[in-house]
Amino acid sequence: KKALVRLRDSSLAALRRHVKNKECSTEEDHQRPLVQAVDFVEWLLQLCASSLTSGSNYQRQKSALLLLAAILETCTDSWSPERKKGQPPRNMAALLTWARSKGCWDFFSRGNILMLLSCLQDSTNEIRELASELLVSYFPAAFPESIAMAAFE
């Protein structure tokens, strides 16, 4: 989690430099750390998704859900009144917008929601509980109709 916080904070700093130095001719050099950090978090997200497929063993699923929880806690702008520390930075929305403009960090995609919903059918209580905590804490209260229909198929 500490590594994700450092990645997030360095990405925010790189994004501020990128915005400040937009007219600079070496824009690619300023963007490289930002692109690498965003790509790494995207890779972690995809790793979690591939580890939560049906048939994955318990340890792999639990590790993927814990990693996904750390990603969602650090790389989203979801503010939680229960936490005194660890709130997202004020300018987190700018980083999320930049990452999404590059086709990354679609944490609340249809595939990710269906992936977590499928974990609710797991045979172990711990996997079901971890998945339900993520759904309740970070995902929208009402799912789009297409996801609701897919969940009941």
Q: What is the pLDDT of residues 64-89, one digit of tens each?
A: 999 999 999 988 887 665 666 666 67
Threshold 0.75, pTM exceeds: yes
pLDDT above 50 (res 4): yes
pLDDT above 50 (res 25): no
Give the pLDDT of residue 134: 94
Mean pLDDT of the chain: 83
**What pLDDT digit, counting tens, does each position of 115-138 carry?**
999 999 999 999 999 999 999 988
Three-point CA angle 97, 78, 121, nearest 5°: 105
108 vs 42: which has the higher pLDDT: 42
Give the pLDDT of residue 138: 86
Q: Is 78 within 8 Å of 72 (Cβ atoms)? A: yes
Question: For the chain, how long is the longest CA-to-CA vector?
Answer: 56
Give the pLDDT of residue 48: 94
Q: How confident is the model at residue 41 (pLDDT cuts 50, 70, 90)?
A: very high
pLDDT above 70 (res 27): no
pLDDT above 50 (res 110): yes
